[in-house]
Amino acid sequence: MFRTSYPKIFQMNILIKSAKIIAPNQSYNQQVKDILIIDGKISKIEDHIKPEIEIKEISLDNLHVSQGWFDCSVSFGEPGFEDRETIENGLNTAALSGYTAVAVNPNTQPVADTNADIGFIKSKGADKATSLYPIAALTSLSHGVDLAELFDMKNAGAVAYGDYQKPIENPNLLKIALQYTQNFDGLVLSFPMESKVIGKGVVNEGITSTKLGLKGIPALSEELQIVRDLFILEYTGGKLHIPTISTKLSVELIKQAKDKGLDVSCSVALANLILNESELEDFDTNYKLLPPLREEADRKALVEGVKHGVIDLVTTDHNPIDVENKNVEFDHALYGTIGLEASFGLLLQEFPLEKVIKILTSGKERFAIPQEEIAVGNKANISLFNPDSSYEFSKSDILSFSKNCAYTGKQVKGKTYGIIANNRIALKSSLSK
C-alpha cells in the first residue's frame, strides 16, 4: 500500500526570516519581520535579527505566517480503521496542511467512549508538531441510548462530546446531557439530522436527485433537528455545538438563537461552503457526503453566514474512507471526503486572506484549547504558507493514506509550507534541508 513519506521534524532553535505576519487585530499584522524562536518560545520579533547562537534558519519564497490553525472535526480511523488513516499519518497530514491543532472525532472501532479510549488516543498523538484533542462519544458505543462516561473522559483529555454523524434521536437524552455537562463546563455536539425524515436518502432532495434517480435527503431533516435542539437548549441551558450545517434556513435559525442569547455555536464543512449538488452528475462517490451537497442558494447562504459570524467555525470534516467503501455503487458508498490538504487553497478562492486566517484560527476557545498569538514570550504556535501560489489540486498533493477527495482537479490558490509548534518544525520534505 502507498505510504506518504514523513517530513523532517526538527527540535531546535529557529530563525524565521522575512515573514509577513497575518494576524488580524493584532500588533504585527501585515508587517514583515524576522522571528527568533528559542526553546519553543518566541524570543524576538524584529526587522532584522542576526543570531548569536547556532540556529536553524527558515527562508522560503513569499513566506507568510499566522498563529496556528485549528480544525474542529477530523477523523483518522485509528483504532480500528488504520487502513484508512493512522493517527501518526493523520497528524503529519494536518501539520503539512498548516494545522497546529485538530479535534479528532470518535469515528473509530471501537468508538472512544471511556477514559481509557481517550487516554489511548492522546498517547498516540503525543510528542507531535500538531496537537491532538479528542472528541469523545456522547453515548455508550455511539448507540444513542445511554450517556457515556463524560466526566471521566474530560479528566482524560476530551474537549467535547458527540456521536459523529449520528443524531441524538431521544430528545430527553440531549436534555440530560446539556444539564449534566454544566457541572464541568462540557460542550455537547448534536448532529443536525432527523433520521426518520431522511429515510434512505443519499443526496440532497431536489431536481438533481430526481434527475439522477437517487433518494433525497430533504433540508427539512436538518432544520427540524436544529429547531428541536435549540428549544431544548433554551430550556436546559448548557453549551451546544451544532456541527456541519448545510442549509439557508439553518443559518437563520442559528442567528435567531444567538440573538436570544443562547450558548450555541455551529460549523460548516468545507465541501458545503465550496461545492454544490451539481458535482453529483457523474455519480462520483467522492461527492457522497453527510450533510449532502445542497443547492447553490444554500451554499451562498453558508458563505454569508461565515462572513457575518453566524457560523463560528469552518471544518474540513476530513474523513478518510478506504477505496473498497468508495469504489462501489453510489447508494452503497460510505459518506466522506478528505480535505485537510486542499483547505487553505480552497478558502482563498472564496475569501480574502485576512478572513481566511480568521476562519482557520477560530474555535479553539469554544473547545477549551489554548490559543497562542504571535508575540514575544509566547510559545511558538505558527502556520507557514504562501498565499499567492495558484495551481490545480491533484492526487500528488494528497498526503492521506486514503484518496477519497472531492477537490481533485479543482483550482486552488495558496500553498502551505508546514508549521512550528510544540518545539518542533514540520516542513514539506522538499523544503527541509
**Residues catalogued as catalytic:** 317
* Spatial distance between the Cα atoms of 309 and 427, rounded to a whole number of angstroms: 32
Residue whose grid cell is 450558548: 263
Q: Are 103 and 160 in contact (CB under 8 A)?
A: yes
What 3-state class would DSSP assign to 368? Answer: coil
* Spatial distance between the Cα atoms of 91 and 122, rounded to a whole number of angstroms: 12
Report, in angstroms and rounded to the nearest whole number, the Rg of the chain calculated over CA atoms.
Answer: 21
Angle between helices 296-307 and 248-259 (to 10 degrees): 30
Nearest of 26, 93, 32 to residue 62 by alpha carbon: 32
Q: How many helices (H) and strands (E) does the chain have?
A: 12, 19
- Over the range 219-258, which residues count as b (16 or more CB within 10 Å of their CB) and which as e? bebbbbbbbbbbebbeebebbbbbbbbbbbbbbebbbebb
Q: Residues with Cβ < 8 Å from 25, sequence gap 6 or more?
A: none
